[in-house]
Chains A and B, each alone.
Chain A
Amino acid sequence: MKKEMDPVLQMKHITKTFGSVTANRDVDLSVYSGEIHALLGENGAGKSTLMNILTGIYRPDGGEIWYKGQKRDIHSPKDAVALGIGMVHQHFRLIPTLTVAENVYLYSGKKSFFLNRDKMEKEIRECSGQYNLQVTPEAYVWQLSVGEQQRVEIIKLLHQGAEVLILDEPSAVLTPQEAQSMFDTLRKMADSGKAVIVISHKMNEVMKNADRITVLKNGRVEDTMPASEADVERLTRGIVGDRTLPEQERGQNSEPETEQRPVQDPEQEARKEAAKAGLQTSSEEPVQGLRQTSPAAAEGAAQGQKHVCGEEVFFMEEVSAKNDRGLPALKKITLSVRAGEIFGIAGVAGNGQRELSEVIAGLRPVTEGKILLSGKDLSKAAMKQHIQEGIAFIPEDRLQTGLVPELTFTENIILKSYESDRYSRRGILQKQNMRDDAKTYAGQFDIRHGGLDLPVGLMSGGNQQKLLFAREVSGDPRLIVAAYPVRGLDIGAAESIRKILRQQSRRGAAVVFISEELEEIFAMCDRVGVLCDGELMGIRAIEETDFQEIGRMMSGEREETK
């Protein structure tokens, strides 16, 4: 990276407000050709908003965008593409029933009336060869893995002639190995003169792969630095701020969405310690390609995590199930979870985790096999019975399945118990009780909301998840199924969620914890099972295994159970 060069892209004093919430406030950002620039920050810090302004999805309320030395107005995504700015969104924008080549061409400026498939496919092969982006142009998108789909998205941008590529949380859906190869590709693109902006909240990944890092907090640029000067402590301070001063923070209570919750000193110290420890593990352990992300890893290790497990609560034997397309998704899974135990499910996303979580929770029918909860057969039972038997479920898709975004806080807390005596008397909703409980939850779980009568869709991701947890654990469930419970959450919220899960397990709940972060699984769980292609590759006690072994199992290597 050459400092003396002019930046290819400059955003000056960008401000954007949504109602009373300021998503970006006076943000300056300079990006140079040939660099990988990381945008780091918690959820709601304004990273995505800033990038959406750059790509023309939002209009800024104030500020200027300079591109290649000229001031530009970007009115629409089309304008952005014409300038050479493209973005890979967190949720891919691909059409599953079209082939890779067709998807790429759909967004291409070089459309002609007749399709020339050979030419299309040749161009894509050239592009994929140049940057080592392996894709099959003839393949249909629905056949592709998430990693492959991401590569298609990147090729789409390259084919549009993008000079500035923005990737929103690109590593969130990848295996450690895939993530590394993706960053290698991004490096190649930067080397060829393109500017790459990566949105992330994984500190270690960013330090390892980026050239410069800009930290956003509460919509403002908190810190910007070359990656060589970054360390965990500095980044943590940038991301979460100096939270030892809760009184002062409380004074400027203007932004409920992005505001950080004041944390007491001991927790703050613990987190800092953990963060330091996290860095140490990453430098000491020579695990190749594995992301060193969550400070939880070290913290869990520090706490020792030892507690006695009770009797077997949940048992499933040779259970198979189908996915939404009717294809086999789970193949003869046998596992059991004891009271007080946290059982981890590791594996690359899309290998049956979702189906497994839904089968256990009762949302997906079992095609064969048996499911027992404390000896009671639930294999054929409806969802309602699963709920009554005390199975709590934190679904992967928290905002469409676990919560109803258009309904209010108060209405969402009764989603599973609206027929209980507390909320319903002869079919009439007991609004006072609903309100009382909503207030209790908000206090007890420190849920920040703009108002109990506002749609939960307006709350931040972390608070939505806290609300979901508050509701799910409120009935002291016997079994908790949590699918990716901290995915996409900021550090503070993620820690609260982990804390709730630990408390529940100490209370005696059996917990099934699905995650793609190995560090987290090692920090949280007593045992871990690895899913690959719908099969359980094996089950290990945490203290008897390591990253390498689990990593091998994740890639499909079966090993005999010790």
Chain B
Amino acid sequence: MIRNLRFRKRNSVSMARRILTPVIFVLLAFVFCGFLLAAVGSNPLAVYARMMKTVCSYSGLTRSIEAGIPLMLTGLAVSFGYRMNLNNIGADGQYALGSLFCIGFALYGPVMPAPLKILCMFLVSMLGGALAALIAAFPKAKWGVNETILTMMLNYIFLYVMDFLMYGPWKERNQMVAQTRAIREKYWLPDLGSSGINSVLLVVIAIAVLLYFFHTRTTWGYEMEVIRQSPRAAQYAGMSVAKATLLVLCASGAIAGLAGFAQVAGIIHRVQANLPNGAGYTGIVIAFLAGLNPLVVLLVGFLFGALQISAVAVQLIGVPSQVATMIQGTIMLFVVAGEFFNRYELVGRKK
């Protein structure tokens, strides 16, 4: 029976299939996780119901967006790098340094009119992220040093720098928590009306749209695509692969650094120890699930935000919040496996 089935490469993949396959495999991932939940003694249906209920409430929605914003940005950062086959595993560290630059400037920088100050915070957080990436980008561009390892190792350094500042000089006085004090309220980005959603979301959406436009319509995007597909052809066309590597990795870092800006100016208005909390790594998953498409990254980032929020909620019924991480990982595995069915189809063997 099995012997009579075989895989055949698909000639074309319809749009419907391209959208439906990941959806189906995400659902399968939840089914699979249900077995795991049952195995540790929880009722998976109850857990999922609770999660759904949390997300579907209005406050759940706004909190999902809040949690999703840094994830969207790291997702955008990672996918931007992958668009030129650069593995930026360091979004966590870049996020950290971006947030440190931002809070440093906000708390200890010069006093300015609010719009200007916010603009500068925006820029310095990008600068922080870009500098964090530059440490890996320069050796990569100059000598071809593996950027995967460099960016990943640098995460530890920046997170320790962050710890040092949070527990040390920048710690809020008279507080047990390792965090800075909040920035002044006039530097906060406003909420969108009374919706409870911060306007930094618009910044994130604008960046995603810009990136989409960049990839599809600009000569730089074209250059990136050529280098991604064939570095040899890029040299042949007179492109400087080294220069592009440097710029793209730094830009990727700058986008990750913006997650720091989003937190400081938009969401928590301060920096805490271990603020990134693995967002850089989750960004890798998001980038892949979104097929490196910036607009899809927004959607997937939101869903992952929702997952995190709902996982916190199920703690109340005795399920560890790590369930979010578990589901994330399972979804990743299932969707990657599902990709296979987009490329191949199962057919009966002909005689």
Name the residue of chain A whose CB is nearest to the CB of B219: A424
Are A415 and B11 also in contact (CB < 8 A) when A406-B229, A428-B217, A429-B217 are?
A: no
Does B223 count as interface, using CB distance less than 8 angstroms?
A: yes
A401 with B233: CB separation less than 8 A: yes
A429 with B222: CB separation less than 8 A: yes
B233 with A429: CB separation less than 8 A: no
Residues on the A chain within 8 Å of B230, using CB: 400-401, 404-406
Does B235 count as interface, using CB distance less than 8 angstroms?
A: yes
B238 with A404: CB separation less than 8 A: no
Report Cα–Cα, A431/B218, bound state, in Å: 10
B350 with A383: CB separation less than 8 A: no
Residues on the B chain within 8 Å of A113, using CB: none
Report Cα–Cα, A20/B11, bound state, in Å: 9
B236 with A363: CB separation less than 8 A: yes
B203-235 interface bits toward A, Cβ cutoff 8 Å, 1 = contact, 0 = none: 000000000000001111111011001101101
B222 with A18: CB separation less than 8 A: no
Does A146 count as interface, using CB distance less than 8 angstroms?
A: no
With beta carbons under 8 angstroms apart, the residue of B12, B217, B235 that contacts A19 is: B12
Tell me which of A363, A384, A403, A427 has the highest count of chain B C-beta atoms within 10 A of its own C-beta. Answer: A427
What's the minimum C-beta distance from A4 to chain B, rounded to whole angstroms? Answer: 31
What's the minimum C-beta distance from B187 to chain A, rounded to whole angstroms? Answer: 33
Does B237 count as interface, using CB distance less than 8 angstroms?
A: yes
Interface residues on chain A, number (Cβ under 8 Å)? 35
Report Cα–Cα, A212/B280, bound state, in Å: 64
Report Cα–Cα, A431/B219, bound state, in Å: 11
Residues on the A chain within 8 Å of B236, using CB: 363, 383, 393, 395, 401-402, 415
Residues on the A chain within 8 Å of B220, using CB: 427
Does A368 count as interface, using CB distance less than 8 angstroms?
A: no
What's the minimum C-beta distance from B12 to chain A, rounded to whole angstroms? Answer: 7
Residues on the A chain within 8 Å of B223, using CB: 418
Residues on the A chain within 8 Å of B221, using CB: 429
Name the residue of chain B whose CB is nearest to the CB of A59: B6
B247-276 interface bits toward A, Cβ cutoff 8 Å, 1 = contact, 0 = none: 000000000000000000000000000000
Residues on the B chain within 8 Å of A411, using CB: 222, 225
Residues on the A chain within 8 Å of B232, using CB: 397, 400-401
Residues on the A chain within 8 Å of B217, using CB: 428-429, 431
B218 with A404: CB separation less than 8 A: no
Mark out the residues of chain A between 44 and 61 whose CB falls within 8 Å of any chain B CB in the assembled complex. 59, 61
B87-130 interface bits toward A, Cβ cutoff 8 Å, 1 = contact, 0 = none: 00000000000000000000000000000000000000000000
Name the residue of chain B whose CB is nearest to the CB of A393: B236
- Chain B binding surface, main DSSP class: helix
Residues on the B chain within 8 Å of A404, using CB: 226, 229-230, 233
Report Cα–Cα, A185/B31, bound state, in Å: 62
Name the residue of chain B whose CB is nearest to the CB of A19: B11
Report Cα–Cα, A416/B234, bound state, in Å: 9
Residues on the B chain within 8 Å of A393, using CB: 236
What's the minimum C-beta distance from B233 to chain A, rounded to whole angstroms? Answer: 5
Does A29 count as interface, using CB distance less than 8 angstroms?
A: no
Residues on the B chain within 8 Å of A419, using CB: 219
Report Cα–Cα, A383/B221, bound state, in Å: 20
Report Cα–Cα, A272/B331, bound state, in Å: 63
Name the residue of chain B whose CB is nearest to the CB of A415: B237
Report Cα–Cα, A245/B177, bound state, in Å: 86
What's the minimum C-beta distance from B34 to chain A, rounded to whole angstroms? Answer: 38
B219 with A403: CB separation less than 8 A: no
A403 with B222: CB separation less than 8 A: no
A382 with B222: CB separation less than 8 A: no
A417-436 interface bits toward B, Cβ cutoff 8 Å, 1 = contact, 0 = none: 01100011001110100000
A415 with B226: CB separation less than 8 A: yes
Does A173 count as interface, using CB distance less than 8 angstroms?
A: no
Does A227 count as interface, using CB distance less than 8 angstroms?
A: no
Report Cα–Cα, A471/B46, bound state, in Å: 63
What's the minimum C-beta distance from B87 to chain A, rounded to whole angstroms? Answer: 19
With beta carbons under 8 angstroms apart, the residue of B6, B237, B350 that contacts A61 is: B350
Mark out the residues of chain A between 359 and 418 whose CB falls within 8 Å of any chain B CB in the assembled complex. 363, 382-384, 386-387, 393, 395, 397, 400-407, 411, 414-416, 418
Report Cα–Cα, A387/B234, bound state, in Å: 13
Does A62 count as interface, using CB distance less than 8 angstroms?
A: yes
Report Cα–Cα, A424/B223, bound state, in Å: 12
Report Cα–Cα, A384/B217, bound state, in Å: 22
B12 with A423: CB separation less than 8 A: no
With beta carbons under 8 angstroms apart, the residue of B219, B226, B237 that contacts A427 is: B219
B238 with A416: CB separation less than 8 A: yes
Tell me which of A61, A387, A415 has the highest count of chain B C-beta atoms within 10 A of its own C-beta. Answer: A415
Report Cα–Cα, A544/B84, bound state, in Å: 52
Residues on the A chain within 8 Å of B222, using CB: 411, 414, 418, 429
Residues on the B chain within 8 Å of A395, using CB: 236
Name the residue of chain B whose CB is nearest to the CB of A386: B238
A403 with B233: CB separation less than 8 A: yes
What's the minimum C-beta distance from B255 to chain A, rounded to whole angstroms? Answer: 19
What's the minimum C-beta distance from A23 to chain B, rounded to whole angstroms? Answer: 13
Residues on the B chain within 8 Å of A427, using CB: 218-220
Report Cα–Cα, A384/B225, bound state, in Å: 18
What's the minimum C-beta distance from A378 to chain B, rounded to whole angstroms? Answer: 13
A384 with B350: CB separation less than 8 A: no
Report Cα–Cα, A416/B217, bound state, in Å: 17
Are A363 and B226 also in contact (CB < 8 A) when A418-B219, A423-B219, A429-B219 are?
A: no
With beta carbons under 8 angstroms apart, the residue of A18, A62, A382, A423 that contacts B350 is: A62
Report Cα–Cα, A429/B6, bound state, in Å: 43
Report Cα–Cα, A387/B239, bound state, in Å: 11
What's the minimum C-beta distance from A466 to chain B, rounded to whole angstroms? Answer: 17
Report Cα–Cα, A393/B233, bound state, in Å: 12
Residues on the B chain within 8 Å of A382, using CB: 238
A407 with B237: CB separation less than 8 A: no
Residues on the B chain within 8 Å of A428, using CB: 217-219
With beta carbons under 8 angstroms apart, the residue of B225, B233, B237 that contacts A400 is: B233
Residues on the A chain within 8 Å of B235, using CB: 363, 383
Residues on the B chain within 8 Å of A61, using CB: 350
B3-16 interface bits toward A, Cβ cutoff 8 Å, 1 = contact, 0 = none: 00010000110000
List the 3 closest A-B pairs by CB distance, nearest first. Answer: A384-B238, A19-B11, A383-B238
- New A-B contacts (14) at CB < 8 Å, excluding given A393-B236, A418-B223, A428-B218: A19-B11, A19-B12, A20-B11, A363-B236, A383-B235, A383-B236, A386-B238, A401-B230, A402-B233, A404-B230, A416-B238, A418-B219, A427-B219, A429-B219
17 cross-chain CB contacts under 8 A: A383-B238, A386-B238, A400-B230, A401-B233, A404-B226, A404-B230, A404-B233, A405-B230, A406-B229, A407-B229, A414-B222, A418-B219, A424-B219, A428-B219, A429-B217, A429-B222, A431-B217
